[in-house]
Structure 1
Amino acid sequence: MSRTTRTSQVRAEIRRFLAVRPVQIGELDLTGEGAALRPGPGGPPVTSGPVFVLVRREGRPVGTLLGEVPEGTDPKATLRELAEQMGKDGPLGSSDRTTAQPPPYTTVVIATRERTGKLVHALDSMLAQDHPRFEIVVVDNAPVTGATRDLVREKYAERVRYVCEPVPGLAIAHNRGVAAARGEVVAFTDDDVVADPRWLTELTSPFTADPGLGCTTGLILPARLSTPAQVLLESHGGFSKGFVPRTYDPAEPPADEPLFPFTAGRFGSGAGMAFRTRVLREVRGFDPATGAGTPARGGDDLYGFVRVLAHGYRLHYTPYALVWHHHRETWRDLETQAYGYGAGLGAYLTAVLVNSPGLIPGFLARLPKGVLYARTLTASREADEARPAPAGPGAHGERDHPWPRRLSRLQRRGMLYGPVGYLRARWALRAARVRGAAR
């Protein structure tokens, strides 16, 4: 393809991208005979137009739907009818509760860097958690100002511990948080989320019920769908892993996951994850040469998942542990994210094999399927360009908006760069240690 043709194609993709309509966020609880409709976190009341709805029963997330509220109609009645019809068709999850012992004492780690405007909302949502015993540690990663330190000390000094980590990198910041953790479980989330009040309880309770559990992950939904970038990302699944709880056991590899455990992105994301503290320390935490803020660009959470599974511990995904995530807002953000996501995949696989050479035979055996999977991951999105774009995002996992070829190409380039980025990050860390020892 010539440069001129490719440039024209990208421009056409951007024009189509800019035509995507914003979508409202709402929550609909179907408990009992009635229904309660409220806006998403911090959003305005739901009115006419397209609405992305989280459906709950007894407060628990059980599904999502995209509804169109006609002008002049009651949004709650319209969306309730859609939700009840969806329930008859069978896709809604279960809200059944099981009797559980109190969740373990937990440390919540939030790594941040110069984003106090977002951090304040994340911390407020943490302090509203219904978990009976937990602490919060904010790790200020390579700060250039004292803004984060001042925020914590002036507004949250009695409930939040402040820790400074001067070396940049998300994995390094998370490891600093692990070192400071006092809890039996250590949970991680990002500074750009708003956590549901039961997030921490739902995320950590499984550790009490299962002594062999090493890690849990939770549900991540969009806090806003106000820009084309946010709508496009969520239309292609976003960060959600569905509404069915699932446990991954290395002793019984799942039949529907032939690349297990190397498709770690299926298990969850770093915006909502928790580890048994002694297990995370046993596997030596996160690889410091991975994660945002390093040449590797990402992959630190995926590395942690695979390391825990490789050591024989189970991983559990629960849709009841919900955080609302602020997706990136612009086309340029999506380009950066696509490349970084691919780079993180390549980097974490390299990190796993470098640090766990015993996994190399299994990885090589799965390599042919892995190459096909990597190609399918982006090619399937390219094929969707022939489909017309609807008014808003569809259900999780459906590809309702055309995924631009440019983003697919950037993701593949990132995958190829990932191993190089990881090695560069290792060399940079080694050089920094040498300089530090020489002082």
Structure 2
Amino acid sequence: MLSFGPAQAGGPAVRGGDVYALVRLRGRPVATVVCRVPPGKAPADAVAAAARAALAGRELPAPAPPGDPLRASVVVATRERADQLARALDSLLEQDHPDFEIVVVDNAPATSATQDLVEHKYGERVRYVRESVPGLAVAHNRGIAVADGAVIAFTDDDVVADPHWLTALTAPFAADPGLGCATGLILPARLRTPAQILLESHGGFAKGFEARLYDPARPPADEPLFPFTAGSFGSGANMAFRATALRDIGGFDPATGTGTPARGGDDLYAFVSVLAAGHRLRYTPDALVWHHHRETWQDLRNQAYGYGAGLTAYLTALLVRRPALLPALLRKLPRGLAHARTITAHREAAGAAVPGAHGAQDYPWPRQLSRLERRGMLAGPVGYAKARRRVRGVPLPWDQRGER
């Protein structure tokens, strides 16, 4: 089966006659392909041929073990993006999960647009919550406080969720009582601008099509920096946590995330904290969302800087809030920072020709973006310190002791 992305994405064209498509096998995502469709030819024929070539000789993943999804809460934090939010909520309301709620957290709103949308268009189908303190992590913590699901899933207001997303993301929790976190596959909803194509050519948000279990009792041999390579586990636009495990670690660090001087790192902090508490983390590509990448060059510049800042901000948060991790972190930190710098240098060295992403086309990573990432890495600890001062004394929504 071939999927050209969500209907809201406006079609599959990358540029000219190029087509980007998701390949599914018995409904499960197994690959993406890009091919050029000759004039006058049916896109499905060209994509089918590319799919057969991409899957030739590959050992396809075995079906996931069955499990009944637990009661789930989906938390979507947003700020002044009502149009995008409506698109996301429409897709969430079409989920095939048998028992879930949707919670919208309106973060430091300047207008009533989000509240009006939720209350007038969706009514009782979506819960509206307001959080006055700016910051993605603070907004997510507000969502945790009001959520009633045994599993709490998080996604962004700029995604379109596959109808099977929530079921696939939450089913592993029923099958594995020791699972604390699950993440899923993120693919581009559209590839129309040079910035969108460049980002996806160099990995985007996708973590591949093979399921993987990360167990702190059995560290992966191929990741010597585990668990501090949190970026390999998944991304905040597609993640879920067992509610008890998430609350036990104190939720998200409110001094991290978009909307704070730290710029990011909230999801990375939560991933490592859950693993450090002894829980397992599973990446499941069956849980798919389509992400609307930023469209402009300036958006990409901001994103590159934010990635760098978020990386070192989350590492700083671990040092400050989880001192028991300090010995292991200090042993691995130099290699971790060198690894991060190597990634940016590697991007500069050659254009990316990513199999299954953009065919044989080369899209070199600009040195300017690598420099911005490095500048962000230098600024991350300072940004975290500033953000921490701003939220000091503000209690967790479910913990009135005011501890941070």
Provide the TM-score with structure 1 as the length reference.
0.86
User: Given the alignment of the two structures, is residue 289 of structure 1 paired with residue 255 of structure 2, yes or no?
Assistant: yes
Once the two structures are TM-superposed, the CA of residue 98 in structure 1 deviates from its matched residue by 4.2
User: Given the alignment of the two structures, is residue 315 of structure 1 paired with residue 276 of structure 2, yes or no?
Assistant: no
Q: 2:44 matched to which residue of 1?
A: 76
**Following the alignment from structure 1 to structure 2, what is the Cα–Cα distance between the partners of residues 152 and 362?**
45
Q: 1:427 matched to which residue of 2?
A: 389
User: Given the alignment of the two structures, is residue 244 of structure 1 paired with residue 244 of structure 2, yes or no?
Assistant: no
**Following the alignment from structure 2 to structure 1, what is the Cα–Cα distance between the partners of residues 3 and 64?**
26
User: Given the alignment of the two structures, is residue 123 of structure 1 paired with residue 89 of structure 2, yes or no?
Assistant: yes
Letter in 2 for 1:206: P
Letter in 2 for 1:51: V
**Following the alignment from structure 1 to structure 2, what is the Cα–Cα distance between the partners of residues 397 and 252?**
35
User: Given the alignment of the two structures, is residue 132 of structure 1 paired with residue 98 of structure 2, yes or no?
Assistant: yes
Select the residue among 338, 348, 364 that pairs with 1:402: 364
Is the Cα contact below 8 Å between 1:262 and 1:306 reproduced in 2? yes
**Following the alignment from structure 2 to structure 1, what is the Cα–Cα distance between the partners of residues 93 and 49?**
35
Unmatched 5+ stretches in structure 2: 396-404
Select the residue among 283, 297, 301 that pairs with 2:267: 301
SS at the partner of 1:342?
helix
**Following the alignment from structure 1 to structure 2, what is the Cα–Cα distance between the partners of residues 264 and 202?**
21
Once the two structures are TM-superposed, the CA of residue 58 in structure 1 deviates from its matched residue by 1.5
Q: 2:400 matched to which residue of 1?
A: none
Select the residue among 24, 35, 38 that pairs with 1:56: 24
Is the Cα contact below 8 Å between 1:41 and 1:194 reproduced in 2? no
User: Given the alignment of the two structures, is residue 326 of structure 1 paired with residue 292 of structure 2, yes or no?
Assistant: yes
Equivalent residues in 2 for 1:33-432 (5 A)? 38=4, 40-44=6-10, 49-90=17-58, 93-94=60-61, 96-384=62-350, 387=351, 394-396=355-357, 400-430=362-392
**Following the alignment from structure 1 to structure 2, what is the Cα–Cα distance between the partners of residues 237 and 424?**
31
**Following the alignment from structure 2 to structure 1, what is the Cα–Cα distance between the partners of residues 216 and 394?**
36
Which segment is superposed worse, 203-212 or 149-158? 149-158
Q: What is the percentage of aligned positions where both structures have the same residue? A: 63
**Following the alignment from structure 2 to structure 1, what is the Cα–Cα distance between the partners of residues 20 and 129?**
37
**Following the alignment from structure 1 to structure 2, what is the Cα–Cα distance between the partners of residues 369 and 86?**
34
Equivalent residues in 2 for 1:19-38 (5 A)? 29=1, 38=4
Once the two structures are TM-superposed, the CA of residue 37 in structure 1 deviates from its matched residue by 5.6
Is the Cα contact below 8 Å between 1:137 and 1:160 reproduced in 2? yes
**Following the alignment from structure 1 to structure 2, what is the Cα–Cα distance between the partners of residues 38 and 303?**
33
SS at the partner of 1:247?
strand
**Following the alignment from structure 2 to structure 1, what is the Cα–Cα distance between the partners of residues 12 and 377?**
40
Change over 3 Å in CA distance of 1:174–1:267 after alignment to 2: same
Letter in 1 for 2:387: A
Change over 3 Å in CA distance of 1:321–1:46 after alignment to 2: closer
Is the Cα contact below 8 Å between 1:238 and 1:396 reproduced in 2? no
**Following the alignment from structure 1 to structure 2, what is the Cα–Cα distance between the partners of residues 55 and 259?**
32
Larger radius of gyration: 1
SS at the partner of 2:128?
strand
Which segment is superposed worse, 36-45 or 401-410? 36-45
Change over 3 Å in CA distance of 1:320–1:70 after alignment to 2: same
Is the Cα contact below 8 Å between 2:3 and 2:22 reproduced in 1? no
SS at the partner of 1:373?
helix
Letter in 2 for 1:409: R
**Following the alignment from structure 2 to structure 1, what is the Cα–Cα distance between the partners of residues 54 and 208?**
15
Change over 3 Å in CA distance of 1:260–1:99 after alignment to 2: closer
**Following the alignment from structure 1 to structure 2, what is the Cα–Cα distance between the partners of residues 300 and 174?**
10
Is the Cα contact below 8 Å between 1:236 and 1:400 reproduced in 2? no
**Following the alignment from structure 1 to structure 2, what is the Cα–Cα distance between the partners of residues 118 and 326?**
9
Once the two structures are TM-superposed, the CA of residue 46 in structure 1 deviates from its matched residue by 5.5
Letter in 1 for 2:35: G
Q: How many residues align?
A: 392
- Superposed CA deviations along residues 157-193 of structure 1, whole A, max 9, x for unmatched, are 1210000000000000000000001000000000000
Change over 3 Å in CA distance of 1:325–1:39 after alignment to 2: closer
Q: What is the root-mean-square deviation in Å for CA atoms of aligned residues?
A: 1.9
Letter in 1 for 2:377: M
Once the two structures are TM-superposed, the CA of residue 293 in structure 1 deviates from its matched residue by 0.4
Q: 2:401 matched to which residue of 1?
A: none
Q: 2:398 matched to which residue of 1?
A: none
Once the two structures are TM-superposed, the CA of residue 43 in structure 1 deviates from its matched residue by 4.0
Unmatched 5+ stretches in structure 1: 1-28, 30-35, 434-439
Q: 1:26 matched to which residue of 2?
A: none
